Chains A and B, each alone.
Chain A
């Protein structure tokens, strides 16, 4: 937890974190936050502009755009997060085992990863959806199946570098078991790397899943999803371009927030920032920030 305190010093990171938290909360509590039922059709309100009752207007079936946007957080962000966690989890296990044991274990696991990675990603996802059928769950399964190998490769490289270090050698010499070494020394030290890798690919995964929904391969109507909302607005792209704005901007803002936060995490999780005299340093940093602020003013 001490490590996360470093994030608070970075203003962009705090802003990004609050955007992500608010969005997540809104997604989880969508029925309480959304002003209307997202599937409620009002044909008399087709393409209505923003009004006090419907803050972002109504779509081609007269459904409330804001409510749909809020409900869409669940598949677009929360389920993508679950898919990310699953693939990072599988990737970490494979990567840590390969990077720690090396030799034959490493060669075998990495050849498996190579095989998975040598299929073209998009085509494979399309193929898996083709086999399992169109649907959001199948899209998520396809993503997990395709993504873990990439995480495994990257995590292995980072783990390898820590396995070389002398504190691991020492732990081996005094007779710690391999399991204990992995839990005590490898995973905690590699965790910042894993967090940064996964958070930076979170953004691209949201974009990809939205992309598949845009193509009509992911979530099915009448459920809402950001990519699908874009697709629905595409029909009226030239007559009512503002309908692309709401889902488009939401994607851009959320993905940028995630990318900025992952940058900040990278800095904040550096163990060299940890000090025994933490509070003192924090105060010093705060006072220099103030001084700089005055200089600018």
Chain B
């Protein structure tokens, strides 16, 4: 469904006329099947969030292509309603002037549905993520971290996309809430058959929810491995990463 072919990305460093460039992603190629959950694991600065932005089509790769069902992901019309995202910072994930209702309505309106449909749909979506309809009129600063992240998840699943990208979506939540949200995601995945791409630095969370994990280091893929085979990884770096968790 989603295939990434030889993607490279670099950013200009220094001023307007500087030719110096920083290579953030080097020769990345992988594939993500429909309904699969792929974890992307890496340290800070490894380029995983840049990869996330490229996968969403917000930025274009310098070289290579990212294809979503055969079409380039940068093409806005092709991905409308099919791709969605949940981000790390729940405090800035919702427009501060929007109520919960407005926030969830935004992607729904892209699909041009009737007013009444949207109203009942918002209630349904809120109940799907474990919130009741009293939340509809609340503003984002009135929500706790877990509630805000649930609203973001409701917003992400509202258009029934083919895949959702989670960019450190649970990292900013505390332990027990993290677990609740992970459970919710597992549950939603079963119900809606959505593919997840789960960007995180937390191997445990990734191992809990993902089918496959991809370890990325300094902008290069170290290894792609099935979660069941996580014990017998090949590369030294991945072994070290796993060692640290066990210890």
Chain A contacts to B: CB under 8 angstroms: 107, 165-167, 169-177, 184-185, 188-189, 271-272, 274-276
B93 at the interface (CB under 8 A from A): yes
- What mask results when residues 80 to 95 of chain B are scored 1 for a CB within 8 Å of chain A, else 0? 1101110111001111
B138 touches A (CB below 8 Å): yes
Q: Is the beta-carbon distance between A272 and B96 smaller than 8 angstroms?
A: yes
Contact between A166 and B56, CB atoms less than 8 A apart:
no
Contact between A276 and B93, CB atoms less than 8 A apart = no
Determine whether the beta carbon of A175 is less than 8 Å from that of B92: no
Pick the residue among B56, B95, B106 that contacts A172 (CB under 8 A).
B56
Q: Assess whether A276 is in contact with B142, with CB atoms less than 8 Å apart.
A: yes
Measured between alpha carbons, how far is A188 from B141 in the docked complex, in Å? 17
In whole angstroms, what is the CA distance A176 to B139 when docked? 22
In the assembled complex, 14 residue pairs joining A and B whose CB atoms fall closer than 8 Å, in A order, are: A166-B88, A166-B93, A170-B152, A173-B56, A173-B57, A174-B107, A175-B79, A184-B106, A271-B139, A271-B141, A272-B96, A272-B141, A274-B139, A276-B139
Chain A neighbourhood of B79, CB < 8 A: 175
Contacting residues, chain B, for A276 (C-beta < 8 A): 99, 137-139, 142
Q: Which of A107, A166, A176 contacts B87 (CB 8 A)?
A: A166
B88-121 residues at the A interface, CB under 8 angstroms: 88-89, 92-99, 103, 106-107, 110
Question: Min CB distance, B165 to chain A, in Å?
Answer: 8
Known A-B contacts A170-B85, A174-B107, A177-B76; the reply to A271 vs B97 at CB < 8 A is yes
Q: A189–B84 contact, CB under 8 A? A: no
Chain B residues within an 8 Å CB radius of A271: 96-97, 139, 141
Nearest CB in chain B: distance from A195 CB, A: 14
Question: When A107-B16, A175-B81, A272-B96 are in contact, do A169 and B87 touch as well, CB less than 8 Å?
Answer: yes
C-alpha gap A186/B57 in the complex (Å): 20
Select one of B81, B99, B155 contacting A170, CB under 8 A: B155
Known contacts being A188-B97, A189-B97, A274-B139, is A174 close to B92, with CB within 8 Å?
no
Q: Is B238 an interface position by the 8 A CB rule? A: no
**Are the C-beta atoms of B56 and A171 separated by less than 8 Å?**
no
Query: In the complex, A210→B98 CA distance in Å?
Result: 42
Closest beta carbon of chain A to B60's beta carbon, Å:
12
Give the contacting residue for A174; candidates B96, B110, B142; CB below 8 A: B110
Residues of A within 8 A of B137 (CB): 276
Contact assessment for A173 and B93 in the assembled complex, using a CB-CB cutoff below 8 Å? no
Assess the B95–A167 pair: CB atoms within 8 A. Answer: yes
Any A CB within 8 A of the CB of B159? yes
Contacts of B98 in A (CB 8 A): 167
A275 near B142 (CB under 8 angstroms)? yes
Complexed CA–CA distance, A276 and B93 (Å): 19
Q: Give chain A nearest CB distance to B14 CB in angstroms.
A: 13
Task: Tell whether B242 is near chain A: CB-to-CB under 8 Å.
Answer: no
Is B142 within 8 A of A167, CB to CB? Answer: no
Closest 6 CB pairs of A and B: A175-B80, A166-B87, A271-B96, A165-B92, A173-B56, A276-B137
Closest B residue to A270 using CB positions: B96
**CB-CB < 8 A to A167: which residues of B?**
92-95, 98, 103
Other A-B contacts than A173-B57, A275-B139, 8 sampled, CB-CB below 8 A, are: A165-B92, A167-B103, A169-B56, A170-B93, A177-B76, A189-B97, A276-B99, A276-B139
The CA of A35 and the CA of B174, in the complex, are separated in Å by: 70
A173 touches B84 (CB 8 A): yes
Does B58 sit within 8 A of A, measured CB to CB?
A: yes
CA distance A171 to B95 in the complex (A): 10
A166 touches B142 (CB 8 A): no
- Give B138 Cβ to nearest chain A Cβ, in Å: 5
Q: Is B110 a contact of A166 with CB atoms below 8 Å?
A: no
Q: Which of chain A's residues has its CB closest to B87's CB? A: A166
Given the interface contacts A169-B58, A272-B141, A276-B142, does A174 sit within 8 Å of B93 by beta carbon? Answer: no
Closest chain A residue, CB of each to CB of B94: A167
Query: A174, B94: Cβ atoms under 8 Å?
Result: no
C-alpha gap A167/B102 in the complex (Å): 12
